[in-house]
Each structure stands twice: as C-alpha cells, then as structure tokens.
Amino acid sequence: MNYIPLLILILLVFVILIRNIRIVQQAKAYVVERLGAYKTTWNVGIHFKVPFIERVAKIVSLKEQVADFPPQPVITKDNVTMQIDTVVYFQITDPKLYTYGIEQPMLAIENLSATTLRNIIGDLELDQCLTSRDIINTKMRTILDEATDPWGIKVNRVELKNILPPKEIQNAMEKQMKAERERREAILKAEGEKRAAILEAEGEKESAILRADAKKQQQILEAEGEAEAILKVQTATAEGIKLINAAAPTDAVLRIKALEAFSSAANGQATKIIIPSEIQGLAGLAEGILESVKGEK
C-alpha cells in the first residue's frame, strides 16, 4: 500500500513528459518561449518542451497564403471614385519576426495595401487605371514587400481583382465600346464590299480577256484553214495545168474542155449566159462535123 502514491507520481510524471513532446509537421514552425522570452524556433521533427518553463508561443504556417481584401474606395487623378479590391499572395519567411514584429500582421497588411493603392491610383487617370494593371500590381508588390520585410513576411505578388467605376462611367464606357464595335463593323463591311467589287471586276476582266483570246484563236484558225484550202486548190490547179501541158493537147481538145466547163456553168441556174466567141466557133465546128457524117450516110 505504501507504493501506490509513488506509482501515481511516476504515472503523473510520465503523462507530463508525454504531453510535452511535440512533433512539428512539414511547412510549419513553432516559436518557443522560455519564461516569457524567446528561446528558439522548432522546425520539422520531434522536439521536447521543458514542462512549466517553456511554452509554444505561436504556430506559424510557412506555406504561401492568400489574403483577399474587400473593395477599397480610391480616387483617380481626374476625380473619379472607384472601388478596387486586391489579392495579396505572401509567405512567412521568419517566424520570430512574424510573431514579435507587429501586432495583428494581417490587419497591418490590409491597411498598408489600401493606403498604397490609394497613393498609386491617385497619380493615374481613369483610362490609365483600366489599362495599367500590371504596372499597378508591380508597384504595390514592391512597396508591400519592402514594408513587410521587418515583419518576416515576403510578398510574392499582388493582383487587382476587380476595378468598379461608378455606374454612369460604366454606362458611358459601354456606349463607347458599342460605338467602337459598330465603327469596326462598318469598316469591315466596307472592306468586304470593296474586296468583292474588286474580285468581280477582276473576274469580268479575265473573262473578257479569255473571250477575246478565244475569238482571236478562232479567227486565226479560220484564216489558216482558208489559206490552206486556197493553197491546196491552187496546187491542184497547177498540177492539172502541168498534166495538161505534159499531154500536149490539140486545139480541138482544148475547145471541147472549154465547152464542158461552159455546160457545167450553165446548169440552168443562171438567168443570163454570155457565150464566148471560142465556144461559138466550137459549136459551128461540131455542127459541120455532124452534117458531114449525115452526107456520108
């Protein structure tokens, strides 16, 4: 029975020791104080805290974090009030500075981003604010990163999430964009019609050229055909004359040939026939021959 208090004491000490063992997970850091003063920072692994003397003052996440702040009213250089909300991506690089550097660091980042945004937008006009987001983001990131460095915070980037001009400004911008789209549509339509007219004119021109070339080729072929036909006729005539001359025809044969040609010409289609004197003589000769033949009979 005298061992029971000792066992209870041993068990109590064991429980206290077990409860003071800490396992630090990946991407986290523990800020440890001893008797109210900063002692050390625990990183990944297993650690033992001295009971009743040391305590974990803060558990810090080393991951990149996102702070989405509500819209802030800002005034541009041309006195236009807009609502702009920002998104800040940051990461804690020094847990000790983050713990002891500033009270409520997230509130400090929000206020700092709002004041920085007002200072930057105050030097820009409305059109510049709408078209210079990258410049504004870069300036804000540089200023915030420099200001939060003593707090153990690194600002990786800053983004303007929304830029909301007043309603009347939005209406005017919509009308302007609509007019611009209509102007571009009219230009594109005019260019299309112009292009179509040019293509049509070029098509008509090419068609006329092709028709002219075809007619020219037809006339050339017809002329070549006629010339070839005339040449063949003249060649045949020359050959015929050559053969006749080679046969040495008599005067009577020539007259008979002339009579045959006259008979083929006077085939009943002509209304007036002029008989050459040579053919008349040939007809008289033929008549004389017939009469002599009859006398002999």
| Residues 147 and 70 reside in one and the same domain | yes
Tokens of 200: 């049509």
Instruction: Please tell me whether the overall predicted TM-score, pTM, comes out greater than 0.75 for this model.
Output: no
The model's pLDDT over 181-228, given as tens digits with 9 standing for 90+, comes to 888 888 888 888 888 888 888 888 888 888 888 888 888 888 888 888
Is residue 170 included in any domain, yes or no? no
Answer whether residue 215 is part of any domain: yes
User: Is residue 36 located within the same domain as residue 68?
Assistant: no
- Same-domain pairing of 52 and 79: no
Q: Would you say the C-alpha torsion 51, 54, 58, 60 has a positive or negative sign?
A: negative
pLDDT tens per residue across span 79-104: 888 888 899 999 999 999 999 988 88
**187 and 254 together in one domain:** no
The answer, yes or no, to whether residue 293 has pLDDT greater than 50, is no
Query: Looking at the structure, do residues 123 and 186 belong to the same domain, yes or no?
Result: no
pLDDT at 152: 92
The answer to whether 51 touches 82, Cβ cutoff 8 Å, is: no
Is 175 a domain residue?
Answer: no
> Distance (Å, rounded) from C-alpha 34 to C-alpha 26?
24
Better pLDDT: 162 or 146: 146
Asked whether the predicted pLDDT for residue 262 surpasses 60, the reply is: no
Domain range enclosing 38: 4-61
Buried-exposed string 253-272: b where 16+ CB fall within 10 A, e elsewhere: eebeeeeeebeeeeeeeeee
Map tokens 């050959």 to a residue.
239
Q: Are 221 and 243 found together in one domain?
A: yes
Q: Are residues 231 and 256 in the same domain?
A: no
- The total number of structural domains in the chain stands at 4
Q: Is 68 helix (H, G, I), strand (E, B) or coil?
A: strand
